[in-house]
A and B are shown apart, each in its own frame.
Chain A
Amino acid sequence: MKPVFILPVLTMGLLTGCVTAQTPSANSQIFAMDTVMSLEVYGDGAQAALDNAISTIYHLEDLWDVTEEDSEVSAINQSQGQPVPISPETSALLEQSQELSQLTDGALDLTAYSAVSAWGFTTGDYRVPSQLELDTLKTKIDYTQLSLNVEEQTASLPDGMSLDFGSVAKGDLGAILSEQLQNQGITSALLYLGGNVQTIGSKPDGTLWRVGIQDPSNPEQAALGVVEVSQKAVVTSGSYQRYFEENGETYWHILDPETAAPARSGLTSVTVIGENGTICDGLSTALFVMGLEDGISFWKQHPELDLDIIWVEESGNVTITSGLESTFQLTEAQSGREVTVIAP
């Protein structure tokens, strides 16, 4: 046989190879932490890494579920000032949350849980508390009252106060899973954790992940814009995420710790993009509470956090930080909006 006969065979082999070659991948959808999560993991060992990630999710859900009597969060809420033992994961998250509370001068405060329940956001039995009730509730919001001992791994709260991880849990989960997947050799994964997005590396083909940002005025349909990222968390806090209406007024789940009532700062959503999911999650809440002007000052004062931010105002105007100038794009349907770019 002449060597030239090999050519067609080689050509066919190459062509079919091109068409069928695929990176191994594993994906799963689960319901956990009162939301839906979708995990896509690529590369060798994807399935095993995905299985481990799912176990981690259920484990952390057990620790942090404020509605379960035997969770660690419930133990802290019932501690009546007496230190109760907590796991390293809970201790680490409390420590990081406390730092974020200090950094934002209390705009993030996990101890707002009593107020969150009073409004019915935990159960769906919504109600508007009276001003008298709110005045009492706001005295129960004070992160400095949390006593945390990182060495002994204990925590406690005074009687009558309670906390929950609603504003940081999914972000922290993203950070923990990101590290865990990378330790197992995974270099490409996309985690959708109930609205929070955590990317590990880039897409299997080496290009950036394209993450849509929900349009607060039409959250169920089109995206407002798109950011392209790798190895980043993308976290949004928006007034459209959980809310109810009563007598023509809309009340949402992001409360201002100073008033114990929904934070009315003129914003409809804040998206924070950065390497650490816990920071992005906690700060998206805090920046929503602060409003646009204070948020911009905060961003300028903290270049060390290396964050990019997208603010959407009630007017529909969009403000982005300069790092997003080349990677953020409005979608076609939204191209009429005004976008302001903030430089450091």
Chain B
Amino acid sequence: MNRTTKLVVILLLVVVAVCSLYIFQTSTQPSAQLLQIYQHGTLVQTIDLSHVQEPYTIELKGESGAYNTVSVEPGRVCISHASCPDQVCVHQGWISDSTLPIVCLPNEIILEITGGGSDLDTIAG
């Protein structure tokens, strides 16, 4: 092998090693668990639940006193209090994957998670 060929082989090995490492890392990292919060059809906040360290709450305020309190914890989310009459969103409890979003129809709030391990594309019912 002359010098140039050696150099090429080494360079190739380095590139393959770096790429493999990159692919290995991205595939073994805990997959992002993205929470998207929509209010009146507009995306108002995106949170990666897999990076949440301490529990906290978010107040979503609507018109004429309407509100929903969103409780965020590591890996999961729920609506803990809401002004809506039916309280469907509160009764749903915690969600941690994309199986079913939390929806508050009266206040037009959607909490939707993408990723998080569910293998369903949607749910009928």
Contact = CB atoms under 8 A, between A and B. Distances in A.
Do A and B share a complex? Answer: yes
Interface of A: 2, 4-5, 7-8, 11-12, 15, 19, 28-31, 34-36, 38, 124, 190, 192, 195-197, 203, 209-214, 219-223, 226, 234-236, 238, 240-241, 269, 271
Contacts of B99: 212, 221-223
A7 B11 CA distance: 10
Contacts of A271: 124
B4 A29 contact: no
22 contacts: A2-B4, A5-B8, A7-B12, A8-B8, A8-B12, A11-B19, A12-B15, A15-B19, A29-B41, A36-B105, A38-B112, A210-B121, A212-B120, A212-B122, A212-B123, A220-B100, A222-B99, A223-B99, A223-B120, A223-B123, A234-B124, A240-B125
B124 A124 contact: no
Contacts of B40: 31
Interface string B19-37: 1001100100000000000
Main secondary structure of the interface of A (DSSP, over half): strand
Given A190-B121, A212-B120, A220-B91, 10 more contacts: A31-B105, A34-B105, A38-B101, A195-B125, A213-B123, A221-B92, A221-B93, A223-B99, A223-B120, A223-B123
A36 B125 contact: no
B67 interface: no
A211 B123 contact: yes
B120 A2 contact: no
B125 A241 contact: yes
Contacts of A192: 122
Contacts of A28: 41
Interface in B103-123: 103, 105, 108, 110, 112, 119-123
A223 to B, nearest CB: 6
Contacts of B52: none
Contacts of A220: 91-93, 100
B66 interface: no
A99 B101 CA distance: 35
Interface of B: 4-5, 8, 11-12, 15-16, 19, 22-23, 26, 38, 40-41, 85-86, 91-93, 99-101, 103, 105, 108, 110, 112, 119-125
B122 A211 contact: yes
B42 to A, nearest CB: 9
A219 B100 CA distance: 10
B121 A209 contact: yes
Contacts of B123: 197, 211-214, 223
A197 B122 contact: yes
Contacts of B103: 36
A269 B125 contact: yes
Contacts of B38: 29
B46 to A, nearest CB: 14
Contacts of A241: 125
Contacts of B105: 31, 34-36
A19 B20 CA distance: 12
Given A29-B38, A209-B121, A212-B120, A8 B92 contact: no
Nearest to B98: A212
Contacts of A235: 124
A307 B98 CA distance: 28
A4 B8 CA distance: 7
B122 A190 contact: yes
A221 B23 CA distance: 34
B33 to A, nearest CB: 17
Nearest to A208: B121
A45 B92 CA distance: 36
3 interchain residue pairs of minimum CB distance: A214-B125, A212-B123, A8-B15
Given A8-B11, A8-B15, A124 B91 contact: no
Contacts of A35: 105
